[in-house]
């Protein structure tokens, strides 16, 4: 299932609302609005919305969206941040950064009208090492095996290689180390993937917690999903087709 978020203030019946401010595009009234306002609605999995909402943006001054393209979760943070809060959205892939810019332009506002929003092509692993303790809210929506996407896309399936399951946790761990460095004390990091593989989810967090003491896991109580050792897992067969989506919230504390 996909949901609809919009910069339009909509007055829709609660029957089509799947989450606060998110609407089911398959209902007639939402479909009508989409037809009336093409380009005003961004379709995304409600589990992605749920994940981003675990990050407390209240009073945050500097947000970093590490792996941001194509930008659904960036849009959600732009909609919910305080007006003066600075947001940096990075992605390693240049073509995807171009897509991210288009998405922000189309669904939020032209970047020229928002000097507090910056989009850059960058390797987030290096960026964190070079920008230590600069951000007080970080979204690490990590590259992952994305099993649902792979199964539904013949091209992705033909490109799939078994060793991805081994290399991805290493990349995810490197990204988490970078996030930890870039995070200020008292700041939060939301780690998320759309994988069902525990090696890409709880194990990445567990590996970090075993080595370092500067991050602690904050408990979550989302409306949907099952608790795991460190986070929450939303599975399609348990949650009306939402997900898969794993997320865990970490806070930077004193420690080494």
Ligand X SMILES: C[S@@+](CC[C@H](N)C(=O)[O-])C[C@H]1O[C@@H](n2cnc3c(N)ncnc32)[C@H](O)[C@@H]1O
68 lines the binding site for ligand X (CB under 6 A):
yes
Can residue 148 be called a binding residue for ligand X (CB under 6 A)? Answer: no
Contact status: 71 vs ligand X (CB under 6 A): yes
Q: Minimum CB separation from ligand X for residue 179, in Å?
A: 11
Residues 144, 183, 194, 239: which is the catalytic one? 194
Min. distance of Cβ 29 from ligand X in angstroms?
26
Tokens of 126: 């290096």
Q: Which long-range contacts (CB under 8 A, 24 or more apart) does 29-32 make?
A: 30/4
Q: Answer yes or no: 22 catalytic.
A: no
DSSP class of residue 213 equals S
Position among 1, 19, 34, 125 found at the interface with ligand X (CB under 6 A): 125
Helix (H, G, I), strand (E, B) or coil at 55: coil
Position 243 contacts ligand X (CB under 6 A): no
Please answer whether residues 63 and 81 qualify as being in contact, where contact means their C-beta atoms are separated by less than 8 angstroms: yes
Helix axes 94-107, 72-80, angle to 10 degrees: 40
Calculate the alpha carbon distances from 60 to 21, 111, 136 in Å.
22, 20, 6
Sort strands 215-218 and 183-193 into parallel, antiparallel or unpaired. unpaired
Is residue 81 within 8 Å of 48, Cβ to Cβ? no
In terms of CB distance, is 59 or 163 closer to ligand X? 163
The 74-103 site mask, x for binding ligand X (CB under 6 A), equals: ----------------xxxx--x-------
Q: CA-to-CA distance for 177 and 172, rounded, in angstroms?
A: 9
Q: Pairing between strand 22-23 and 17-19? A: antiparallel
Q: How far is the CB of 120 from ligand X (least distance, A)?
A: 10
Phi and psi at residue 100, to the nearest 5° = -60, -45
124 binds ligand X (CB under 6 A): yes
Interface stretch with ligand X, choices 15-23, 69-77, 195-203, 229-237 (CB under 6 A) = 69-77
Query: Residue from 67, 88, 181, 249 that binds ligand X (CB under 6 A)?
Result: 67
CB closer to ligand X out of 23 and 247: 247
Residue (179 or 239) nearer to ligand X, CB: 179
The residues annotated with a catalytic role in the active site are 194
Residues of the shown chain interacting with ligand X in the complex, contacts defined by CB under 6 A: 66-73, 90-93, 96, 123-125, 141, 143
């Amino acid at each position: 299932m996909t949901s609809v978020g919009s910069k339009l203030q909509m007055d829709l019946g609660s029957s089509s609302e799947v989450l606060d401010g998110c609407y089911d595009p398959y209902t007639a009234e939402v479909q009508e609005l989409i037809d009336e306002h093409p380009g005003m609605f961004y379709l995304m999995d409600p589990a992605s919305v749920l994940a981003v909402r675990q990050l407390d943006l209240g009073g945050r001054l500097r947000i970093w969206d590490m792996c941001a393209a194509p930008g659904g979760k960036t849009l959600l943070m732009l909609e919910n941040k305080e007006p003066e809060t600075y947001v940096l959205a990075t992605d390693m892939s240049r073509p995807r950064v171009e897509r991210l810019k288009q998405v922000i332009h189309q669904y939020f506002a032209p970047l020229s009208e928002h000097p507090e929003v910056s989009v850059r092509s960058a390797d987030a692993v290096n960026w964190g090492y070079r920008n230590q303790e600069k951000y007080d809210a970080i979204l690490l929506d990590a590259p992952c095996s994305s099993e649902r996407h792979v199964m539904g896309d013949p091209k992705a399936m033909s490109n799939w290689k078994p060793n991805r399951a081994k290399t991805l946790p290493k990349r995810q761990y490197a990204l988490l180390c970078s996030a930890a460095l870039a995070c200020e004390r008292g700041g939060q990091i939301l780690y998320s993937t759309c994988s069902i593989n525990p090696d890409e989810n709880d194990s990445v967090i567990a590996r970090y917690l075993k080595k370092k003491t500067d991050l602690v896991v904050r408990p979550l109580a989302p409306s949907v999903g099952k608790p795991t050792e460190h986070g929450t897992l939303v599975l399609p067969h348990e949650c009306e087709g939402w997900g898969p989506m794993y997320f865990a919230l970490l806070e930077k504390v004193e420690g080494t």
